[in-house]
Amino acid sequence: MDFIHTDDAPQAIGPYSQAVKAHGFVFCSGQIPVKKDGTLIEGRMPDQTRQVLENLKAVLLASGSDFSKVVKTTVYLTDMLDFEPMNAVYKEYFGNHKPSRATVQVAALPKNALIEMDCIALADEPPL
């Protein structure tokens, strides 16, 4: 098991890793829309979603993976009325690649973010 750390994404704000690589998978912790310095992106859902996905992208790359290897995402929204704006940005990053996904509404997120997202990806090609 490898604990993943990159300076290209915000540091964990608790006792957890940005990601864990195990058994051919990368398990990315939830990312909220904060910059590398820990400041929250102020703005609407598209801006916050973009930052979340940039953070996940950095963690995936540090793990030897990328969005084309994501098999599952979970999206946490504080308001389901933000579903469509989030989904539009999500499509920009995933294109025709369509991992399984759950999207849920939550009462609140750290730093009063509007969105949090985590994912599970393949770490490398499985043996034949």
Q: Which of 34, 51, 113, 53 is nearest to 78 (CA)?
A: 113
pLDDT digits (tens, 9 = 90+) for 27-84: 999 999 999 999 999 889 999 999 999 999 999 999 999 999 999 999 999 999 999 9
- Quick one: residue 102, left, alpha or beta (phi over 0 = left, psi -120 to 50 = alpha)? beta
Which 3 state secondary structure label does DSSP give 27?
strand
Query: What's the whole-model pTM score?
Result: 0.94
Predicted pLDDT at 127 = 47
Q: State both tokens at 118.
A: 């985590």
Mean pLDDT of the residues in the chain? 95
pLDDT: which is higher, 121 or 43: 121
Go through the domains of the chain in sequence order and give each one's CATH number: 2-122 (3.30.1330.40)
Question: Which H or E run contains 125?
Answer: none
Dihedral sign for Cα 117, 120, 125, 128, please: negative
Question: pLDDT-derived band of residue 128, with 50, 70 and 90 as boundaries?
Answer: very low
Question: pLDDT-derived band of residue 125, with 50, 70 and 90 as boundaries?
Answer: low
**Cα gap 52→74, rounded to integer Å:** 12
CB-CB contact of 66 with 57 (8 Å): yes
**Cα gap 14→23, rounded to integer Å:** 24
CB-CB contact of 15 with 93 (8 Å): no
pLDDT digits (tens, 9 = 90+) for 81-118: 999 999 999 999 999 999 999 999 999 999 999 999 99
